[in-house]
C-alpha cells in the first residue's frame, strides 16, 4: 500500500507539474509540499494548518481529501503508539505519574489524535485552515475595495465643495466688480444728441433709456444712496427722482441715453465710464 507521500508525489507527477507550480496554484509553501511527499509531518507547524494544507493539496491533485486525512490520522496514531512503546521499554515500563501541568497537554493530545477522553473536546475542523487561508485574501481585497470607495467619495465631496465655493464667490462679486473698480472719472455734462443743446440745468427728475444692453449704477452724492443699480436691456426705460448731484456709472456709453429737463443726452465716450449730473 502506498504511503501518503507516495500518493501525493505520484498524483503530482501524473499532472506533469513541479513543486513550485503546485505551490503557486495552492498558495502553500513548496517546502511544506515537499515534506508531505516525503512523509515528514513532524516539522514546526500547528496541527490545524497541517491538516488544512494536506486537504487542499489532495484536493488540488484530484485525490480524495477525506481518505488522505484518514490515512494521516492513522499514521499519527501509529507513530504515537510506537513512541509510547519505545518509552516503556526504555524505562522498564515504569509508570510515570503525570503532574497537573502535564494533564491538559495530554488531554489535548488525546483529542487531537482521535482518542476517547473523559471529557472530550470538539475536534477542530481540518477545513478551518483552508477557510482561513482562503478568507484572508478576500478580507484584504474587501478592505482595499472599501478604502478606494471612501477615497473616491471624499475626493468627490471635496470637489463639490470647491465648485460651489467658486460659484458663490463669482455670483457675489459679479454685482460689485463694476462698482468697486472705479473707471477714470469723466466729469462732463454729457453732450446732447443735438449739437446746439444748451447747458444742462438741475432738476429732480431724470430718465434712463437703454438702446442696448448696459449695466447702470446711479448714486446720489449727498448721502451716497443708490438710486438704481441693474442691467438694462434694449428699449428699457427707468425714471428716477434725485436730490442734488448724482454719479452715473455705466458699462456701455453707446447704449445709454439720459433724459433731463426734456432733453436727451448720450455720453460722448463709449465703454465703461462715469459722469456727474448736477
**Overall domain count for the chain:** 3
For 169, the domain range is 133-174
181 belongs to a structural domain:
no
Neighbours of 271 (CB within 10 A): 11
CATH number of 66's domain: 1.10.260.40
Of 198, 181, 180, whose CA–CA distance to 189 is shortest? 198
Contact of 52 with 126, CB cutoff 8 Å: yes
Do 170 and 213 belong to one domain? no
Reading the block at residue 18, the C-alpha cell is 513541479
Q: How far apart are CA 128 and CA 89, in angstroms?
A: 38
Please give the pLDDT value at position 123. Answer: 55
- Sheet with 273-277, edge to edge strand ranges: 226-232, 214-220, 246-250, 273-277
User: Are 16 and 71 in the same domain?
Assistant: yes
Partners of 61 in the β-ladder? none
> How many angstroms separate the CA atoms of 188 and 193, rounded?
14
Domain end: 93, 119, 153, which one? 93
Whether residue 218 sits in one domain with residue 168: no
Distance from chain centroid for Cα 228: 50
Q: What is the pTM of this model?
A: 0.31
pLDDT tens for the chain, 278 residues long, are 788 889 999 999 999 999 999 999 999 999 999 998 998 888 888 889 989 999 999 999 999 999 998 988 888 887 777 666 655 554 444 343 444 444 444 344 443 434 434 444 555 555 444 444 544 555 677 788 888 898 988 989 898 889 888 888 877 665 554 444 444 444 444 443 443 334 444 457 899 999 889 898 999 999 999 999 999 999 899 999 898 899 998 888 888 999 988 888 888 877 888 889 88
158: which 3 cell numbers? Answer: 471635496
224 with 273, same domain: the answer is yes
Are 8 and 89 within one domain?
yes
Amino acid at each position: 500500500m502506498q504511503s501518503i507521500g507516495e500518493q501525493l508525489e505520484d498524483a503530482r507527477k501524473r499532472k506533469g507539474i513541479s513543486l513550485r507550480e503546485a505551490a503557486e496554484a495552492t498558495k502553500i509553501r513548496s517546502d511544506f509540499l515537499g515534506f508531505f511527499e516525503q512523509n515528514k509531518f513532524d516539522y514546526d507547524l500547528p496541527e490545524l494548518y497541517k491538516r488544512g494544507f494536506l486537504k487542499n493539496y489532495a484536493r488540488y491533485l484530484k485525490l480524495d481529501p477525506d481518505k488522505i486525512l484518514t490515512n494521516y490520522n492513522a499514521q499519527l496514531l501509529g507513530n504515537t503508539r510506537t513512541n509510547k512503546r519505545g518509552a516503556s521499554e526504555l524505562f522498564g515500563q515504569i509508570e510515570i505519574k503525570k503532574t497537573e501541568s502535564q494533564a491538559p497537554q495530554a488531554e489535548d493530545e488525546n483529542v487531537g489524535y482521535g482518542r476517547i477522553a473523559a471529557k472530550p473536546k470538539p475536534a477542530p475542523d481540518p477545513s478551518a485552515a483552508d477557510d482561513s487561508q482562503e478568507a484572508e485574501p478576500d478580507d484584504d481585497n474587501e478592505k482595499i475595495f472599501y478604502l478606494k470607495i471612501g477615497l473616491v467619495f471624499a475626493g468627490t465631496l471635496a470637489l463639490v465643495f470647491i465648485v460651489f465655493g467658486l460659484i458663490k464667490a463669482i455670483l457675489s462679486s459679479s454685482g460689485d466688480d463694476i462698482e468697486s473698480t472705479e473707471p477714470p472719472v469723466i466729469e462732463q455734462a454729457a453732450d446732447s444728441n443735438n449739437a446746439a443743446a444748451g447747458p444742462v440745468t438741475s432738476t429732480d427728475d431724470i430718465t434712463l433709456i437703454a438702446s442696448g444692453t448696459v449695466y447702470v449704477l446711479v448714486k446720489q452724492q449727498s448721502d451716497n444712496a443708490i438710486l438704481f443699480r441693474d442691467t438694462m436691456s434694449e428699449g428699457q426705460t427707468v425714471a428716477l427722482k434725485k436730490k442734488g448731484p448724482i454719479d452715473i456709472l455705466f458699462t456701455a456709453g453707446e447704449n445709454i441715453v439720459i433724459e433731463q429737463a426734456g432733453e436727451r443726452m448720450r455720453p460722448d465716450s463709449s465703454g465703461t465710464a462715469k459722469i456727474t449730473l448736477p
